[in-house]
Amino acid sequence: MAKTLVFLEHHDGAVQKGSLGVLAKAASVGGAHGVVVGSGVRGAAEGLGTLVWVADDERLAAPLPQPRVDVLAKLVRDEGYDTVLFAQSVLAADVAAGLAARLGAGLNWGLVDFDGTQGRAPQLQDTVVVDVGWSSAVRIGIFRAGALDAVPLDGASELKDASVELEDFSLLAEMVEQAHAEQQGPSIEEADVIVAGGRGLGEPEKFALCEALAKALGGAVGATRAVVDAGWYPYSAQVGQTGKTVAPKLYVAVGISGAIQHKVGMQNSNVIVAINKDPNAPIFEFADLGVVGDLHAIVPKLTELVEARRGS
């Protein structure tokens, strides 16, 4: 049985849904502990239904990878963890890669499943799912965003202090500036509902239609690469092969053709609704519900109906 440590990434005092999904998966196949790293982060580590190590130190305040590698490498060595799992994020990718180099361990990424010894990961633009393994003593894995449900654990919650011994070279990098993208509502990684817009919107201003529908549904706005490349919407909203992988309960694709590179980022959504004026658009081949028509007429009406239903 794997002795697994899960890196619990947190924002605004709470552990991210993606990390909780990885923790739940790891716990379902064996013993799983978590680790929360940062400054003033004890609150985020509480009540997670398992043992969570807390590395709380002001030198860990900035989200820089190397000090986190120090903390995790020491925990792995001292406590004998043989598996370290992460939910996909920019920080997780850096920490996992640094940890793999430090421990001489193998790193598999893009996982969607793990059985305690082997993982599973889609390959070749998601046309096949393959078993992936490790030949190293320690296994390191990064799960795909949105691949797992954040089922709460019902075990006993326990916090333990992790000792923070940082290497001199780990403190050489300094966070000079940190910017937060202005955003209302949930991020596309966290949202249960995503309303995504594509080139069919016609012009950037028409993203207001997606924003209004997303707001009415309590969701987030996504975008295709075509509109991100055109500067209509920020890259942080891009869904697909070169953007984010999402798996919300509901994905509404507005004026999106359904190219394979977009599909691989959203095909695991529970319910896919497509609104497109072309009945032969590829998106209708994998949508659960298709509406053939002009989005400019349909989306405002839909928003109105949702608002009316929510208001009643």
Ligand X SMILES: Cc1cc2nc3c(=O)[nH]c(=O)nc-3n(C[C@H](O)[C@H](O)[C@H](O)COP(=O)(O)OP(=O)(O)OC[C@H]3O[C@@H](n4cnc5c(N)ncnc54)[C@H](O)[C@@H]3O)c2cc1C
CA quadruple 221, 227, 230, 231: dihedral, nearest 10: 0
Q: Which of 291, 278, 241, 283 has the alpha carbon at shortest distance from 262?
A: 241
Q: CB-wise, 165 or 235, nearer to ligand X?
A: 235
195 lines the binding site for ligand X (CB under 6 A)? no
| From 47-55, 66-74, 211-219, 294-302, span contacting ligand X (CB under 6 A) | 294-302
Q: Binding pattern to ligand X, positions 206-225, x when CB under 6 A? A: ------------------xx
Q: CA-CA distance, 114 to 3, in Å (whole number)?
A: 13
* Total of residues contacting ligand X (CB under 6 A): 28
Whether residue 50 contacts residue 20, with contact meaning beta carbons closer than 8 Å, is answered with: no
Alpha helices in the chain (DSSP H): 17-28, 42-45, 65-79, 90-103, 207-217, 225-229, 260-266, 295-311
What residues between 253 and 282 interact with ligand X by CB under 6 A? Answer: 255-257, 259, 261-262, 265, 275-278, 281
Minimum distance from CB of 132 to ligand X (Å)? 22
Tokens 């890196």 belong to residue: 7
Tokens 């080139």 belong to residue: 199
Q: Which of 33, 18, 44 has the alpha carbon at shortest distance from 155?
A: 33
Q: CB-wise, 132 or 227, nearer to ligand X?
A: 227
200 lines the binding site for ligand X (CB under 6 A)? yes
Whether residue 240 contacts residue 266, with contact meaning beta carbons closer than 8 Å, is answered with: yes
Q: CB-wise, 261 or 267, nearer to ligand X?
A: 261
242 lines the binding site for ligand X (CB under 6 A)? yes
Q: Binding pattern to ligand X, positions 222-241, x when CB under 6 A? A: --xxxx----------xxxx
Q: Which amino acid, one-letter code, is at 130?
A: V
**Which residue among 294, 304, 305, 310 contacts ligand X (CB under 6 A)?**
294
Q: CB-wise, 69 or 226, nearer to ligand X?
A: 226
Q: CB-wise, 3 or 296, nearer to ligand X?
A: 296
Whether residue 157 contacts residue 48, with contact meaning beta carbons closer than 8 Å, is answered with: yes
Q: CA-CA distance, 148 to 113, in Å (whole number)?
A: 8
Q: CB-wise, 125 or 163, nearer to ligand X?
A: 125
Residues that bind ligand X (CB under 6 A): 198-200, 224-227, 238-243, 255-257, 259, 261-262, 265, 275-278, 281, 294-296
